Amino acid sequence: MRLLIIGSLSNQIGAASRIAVARGAAVMHAIDVAAGLEVLRAGKGADVVMFDVSLDIVGFMQSLEAERIGVPVVACGTETDAKAAVRAIQAGAKEYIPLPPDAELIAAVLEAIAEDSHALLYADPKMERMVKLAAQVAPSEASIMITGESGTGKEVIARFVHQKSRRASQRFVAVNCAAIPENLLESELFGYEKGAFTGAVSRRIGRFEEASGGTLLLDEISEMDIRLQAKLLRAIQEKEIDRLGGTKPVKIDTRIIATSNRDLKAEVKAGRFREDLFFRLNVLNLPLPSLRDRKADIPVLSAHFIKKYAEANGLPFRPLTAAAKDALMRHSWPGNVRELENTLHRAVLLALGDEIDADSITLMDSGSEHEGVEGNTSGLVGLTVAEVERDLIIDTLKHTVGNRTHAANILGISIRTLRNKLRQYIDEGHAVPAPGEGEAAGS
């Protein structure tokens, strides 16, 4: 993950930077707003911006909006900066991290905003066949479509393909088409020239140019507006793009990998996805099996996640009991690997003793939780649909220990929709769990 820090590193943000580096982030630094905007315009790339609220965050967010730069912003400030924190969230910052920095909170926020866990672990024969196929097609220059349910690891496979390709030494650039507002996605992909629109004060290099020579991942491409699909098709066919406001095309050399959790053939039939773009992207298809169809992966993934979160929380590694393993193997995993990771994160925090027992394994559709959701609706009488939706979203966020990305996948909505809902709830005065907060953290 690429992190851009805007602000002075002489204070506690410097400590936050070191924590981010220790967690595997590639960190760039800009001393002020103007320098930060120049980094973003130049196509150097950032998955997340960490912003010092002692600077003008309102002006910075307004510049991002005016210049159509879509990048999530995390605000940072001291615990006495309560007004600054409110101002940052109101301005559009996704999260707020109080300083001095807490390593686990920073890790949770960065993971929630930009998923940065890309370990490819498997043991199931179905997944083994898929990985072998991915390795076989990786050296080609053909576009690849990776399909599968949310949480199956589509981005992990995309990165694996890049690493096994002839472009491995060049950049891998990921764009989440579902997370970027439609009015920003075009400029995010293609960039623009100075004066292309009100607010375009300087040239902006888009993700196609940023990834030239390497690989561009278009994550959840089925969420892309059909008008923009036409421009994308031309870029792939002609190997050139037009910056907004540009007078001549810009040549690119970018390999495209796209992912979708929808049935794109059905989307084509419904008129929501261009058939010609589908065939152009679907030269090679990698359909990822769901976790319930590759149960042999559960033990190896479980051991990995237990080790990861035990180390992250300063706890000893504790193995699963036979009963806990049985509970994991019997579960249907609607949220796939992401749900498994979240479940084991909770289990590491909840477990007592030298092993992780079944009592520490809390599953969304089992036991009393399942009964509470589906078996008894009398408690919902008298509530409006909006109130039920709000309670469901907040309860799910508690279940995911404040992880927005995991919650969105469990709920079956885009991260953009979830964040808009949460901002509304905060404005209405409702308590919304922050990353790292939830049922497990509070137990």
Give the model confidence (pLDDT) of 171-208 as tens digits.
899 998 987 887 789 999 999 999 988 888 889 899 99
> Mean pLDDT across the stretch 19-48?
83
Q: What is the mean pLDDT of residues 382-396?
A: 79
Rounded to an integer, the average pLDDT of 33-54 is: 85
pLDDT tier for residue 237 given thresholds of 50, 70 and 90 = very high
Distance, in Å, from the CA atom of 361 to the CA atom of 351, rounded to the nearest integer, reads 9
Residue type, 223: E
Least confident span in 189-198, 321-330, 338-347, 399-408: 399-408
40-44, 54-58, 362-366, 399-403, range with the lowest pLDDT:
362-366
Separation CA 370–CA 366 (nearest Å): 5
Burial class (CB in 10 A: 0-12, 13-18, 19+), 385: exposed
The Cα 205–Cα 193 span in angstroms is 9
Do domains 125-289 and 293-442 share one topology? The answer is no
- pLDDT tens-digit readout, 257-311: 999 999 999 999 999 999 999 999 999 999 999 999 999 999 999 999 998 888 8
312 pLDDT higher than 50:
yes
Q: Where are the alpha helices (DSSP H) in 80-220?
A: 82-91, 103-113, 125-137, 154-163, 182-190, 207-210
Is the per-residue pLDDT at 405 higher than 90?
A: no
- Domain 293-442: CATH architecture, name and number where available: Orthogonal Bundle (1.10)
41 touches 67 (CB < 8 A): yes
pLDDT at 375: 36
Q: Looking at 6-10, 56-60, 294-298, 315-319, which range is the least confident one?
A: 6-10
CA separation for the pair 162, 216 (Å, rounded) = 9
Give the span between the Cα atoms of 221 and 218, in whole angstroms.
6
CATH topology of domain 2-113: Rossmann fold (3.40.50)
> Measuring CA to CA, which residue among 346, 362, 428 is closest to residue 389?
428
The residue that leads in pLDDT, 174 or 381, is: 174
Highest mean pLDDT among 112-116, 313-317, 331-335: 331-335
* Confidence at residue 11, expressed as pLDDT on a 0 to 100 scale: 67
67-77 pLDDT, tens digit each: 878 788 888 88
H/E run at residue 15: helix 12-22
| Highest mean pLDDT (candidates 98-102, 293-297, 378-382) | 293-297
- Whole-number pLDDT of residue 102: 72
Residue identified by tokens 């806990």 is 324
| Tokens standing for residue 54 | 């002692």
| CATH fold group of domain 125-289 | Rossmann fold (3.40.50)
Residue pair 52/36 in contact by the 8 Å Cβ criterion: no
How much is the average pLDDT of 247-254?
Answer: 93
| pLDDT exceeds cutoff 50 at 443 | no
Task: Give the helix/strand (H/E) hosting 340.
Answer: helix 336-350
pLDDT of 14 higher than 80: no
Report the alpha-carbon distance of residue 88 to residue 78 in Å, rounded.
13
- Alpha helices for 164-296 (secondary structure H): 182-190, 207-210, 226-238, 264-269, 275-281
Q: How confident is the model at residue 321 (pLDDT cuts 50, 70, 90)?
A: very high
Cα–Cα distance between 220 and 377 in angstroms, integer? 34
Give percent above pLDDT 90 in the chain: 42
Structure tokens at 77: 């400030």
Domain extent listing, the chain? 2-113, 125-289, 293-442
